[in-house]
Amino acid sequence: MAHKWEMDASCPNEYHAVQPKRGREFILRLTTGADIFLGLQAFAADHNIRFAKIHAAFMGGLQPARFLVWAPDARDPGNWHHEHPRTVQSLSMILSMSGIIHPRPAKGGGEEPFPAVHFVVGGAWDAPTVGGHLLEGSIVKGVVEVFITEIVGIDVIFPEAAVAEAHADQFPENWYKETGD
């Protein structure tokens, strides 16, 4: 049985909320050659961060930029959540970036930090302005600095199906519960 937060809204003003607290705050600097996804994931693991808000402070470039974009699912038109990987090889400027770090089920059990980052790139004659979910393989060109604000006082709730079929390459939707910490 699905949790209430997994179901479609029963009325237009329905919502779900938790009230977390701020923890530690960091500025993370990534330079040419660093993979943004892997850098954020390693940072979270090294600092024992389960939940955090990612918000950009200074945005540089990427070459390449790898991401998932929403795309029509030709095999199942009712699948509105279909995403397709895309790569922009040309040097592109990060125009906007934000997201969260949260745990996801790890292959073999347990959990691992997962940076769920939305971003927009563009700004060059041969780089379209596009955006999506940042993927591993998005390599910094120049300098990218982001603010990281740890979030405390919550824990993750995974959908039952995601826990039963946990794979490291899946991106399960989840929700949170307050812990009182």
DSSP letters, 15-58, are ------EEEEEEEEEEETT-BHHHHHHHHHHHTT-SSEEEEEEE
DSSP conformation class of 124:
B
β-bridge mates for residue 27, sequence order = 147
Q: Which residues have CB under 8 Å from 74's CB, separation 6+?
A: none
pLDDT in tens, the chain (181 residues): 677 888 889 999 999 999 999 999 999 999 999 999 999 999 999 999 999 999 977 888 999 999 998 877 888 888 777 788 999 988 889 899 999 999 988 878 888 999 999 999 987 677 788 899 999 999 999 999 999 999 999 998 877 665 555 544 455 678 888 997 7
Q: Which two tokens stand for residue 86?
A: 């895309």
Whole-number Å distance between alpha carbons of 120 and 32:
19
* DSSP H or E run through 161: helix 160-164
**Res 167: pLDDT:** 46
Whole-number Å distance between alpha carbons of 156 and 51:
9
Question: Which percentage of the chain shows pLDDT scores above 70?
Answer: 91
Q: Which residues have CB under 8 Å from 80's CB, separation 6+?
A: 70
